[in-house]
Structure 1
């Protein structure tokens, strides 16, 4: 089965629509969303409705919980905090109902999914380095754990001898003797200095993962952010991929 794995949409409808068009073009069987549907971007309700209708399973991210009053906003930087407050003011009852019931983690067909980290997913920590990954491999039994949260695509693998490595291959052959933590990047706010939307494609029969990048109408999203009253920095960062 071919899984499309999306994460960190952040209210960016133009990016989400472009990613879904590419997913359809590539013939994915199932869409999985790792959370952070809302926050930062100008179309939270439209993105919630789209994910609700298209994704087989959706997890909660910290930006999904925060507008519902489930997280202390002092944890967030000023731009994120203002965006959360704006999002809370604009979410519909249907969106709130959907977001508040999302799980933090799930086990699928031979792989694990979580927004942040398999170790204490409700603490919203990051995995961006081998050092941060080491303790997390003990927290899932499957061969692969797919994550989001950092907005930076990353693949960290470990073998039976506990030799850890960062892998850059794309597409990536999933080898039986390795276990993986794979960050699929961000649909709506990439931070790896590549402004194109990102998502992952995982084929569990061919044992193959591909990070896919998709261009979208950044200018349209920027215009919406500026006209909505959200911080201008949230528009500016999109074209920089940071």
Structure 2
């Protein structure tokens, strides 16, 4: 089975449309959505409609921290510019949108793959995976051989051997990586809607469960149009600038 792994869409319609077209050209059997469908971007309603439609078709979707923060009862520590865009997003979404997002799970399991937004060891606390140690902590929290996380907007791959040796590397666009059965793996496909590694091209990944090969993809899109929509919506200018520079 071939999985298409999309994370951190962040209401960026232009990026999502480009990635969706690319993924369908590549061909896949199962769509996996790793959270953060809203906030930052100017098209939250369109994006949530897309997620709802794909879930109705059989996609797997988990909740991200920005999705969770839609609830007025949430206790997320977010910056002032995030609060502004989050408040704006709440006003755009319908009750149906909010109910759908609120009902999403924090984790999902598909065979030997664990799917979550932030991490596997404490998914409700929304901690980031910045290092090998944090990645290994997640891997040891589950018996799944493969853990797929969002949250971090940079594509990355971590692994641990049966002897506890840790490793990591930054993937190369379009190059298939064979995931050795002698190791356990944690992959972060990067962000569709807001990459932050200095490259404005959207990120996603494909995983073939039969060959155990993982391929990270970068997809150029009209980030200038997405940035312009953010400005027209009256959202903070820094949210538009991030898209221009992939930061």
The two structures have a TM-score, normalised by structure 1, of 0.97
Whether 2:73 is the aligned partner of 1:64: answer no
Distance of 1:171 and 1:165 partners within structure 2: 18
2:29 corresponds in structure 1 to 29
Q: Name structure 2 gaps, 5 residues minimum.
A: none
- Give the C-alpha shift of residue 131 in structure 1: 2.4
Whether 2:186 is the aligned partner of 1:184: answer no
Q: Following superposition of structure 1 onto structure 2, how do residues 1-242 of structure 1 map, counting pairs within 5 Å?
A: 1-55=1-55, 56-73=59-76, 75-169=77-171, 170-242=175-247
- On the 8 A contact 2:136/2:159 being kept in 1, the answer is no
- Give the C-alpha shift of residue 123 in structure 1: 0.5
**Misfit runs of 4+, over 3 Å:** none
Deviations 1:79-113 (A, max 9, x none): 21111111111111221121010000011021000
Deviations 1:150-192 (A, max 9, x none): 1011101000110000134542101100101100100000011
Distance of 1:166 and 1:200 partners within structure 2: 17
- On the 8 A contact 1:157/1:167 being kept in 2, the answer is no
The two structures have a TM-score, normalised by structure 2, of 0.95
- Give the C-alpha shift of residue 201 in structure 1: 0.1
Distance of 2:73 and 2:121 partners within structure 1: 19
Q: Does the residue aligned with 1:64 lie in a helix, a strand or coil?
A: helix
Distance of 1:194 and 1:28 partners within structure 2: 25
Q: Name structure 1 gaps, 5 residues minimum.
A: none
Superposition RMSD on alpha carbons, in Å? 1.1
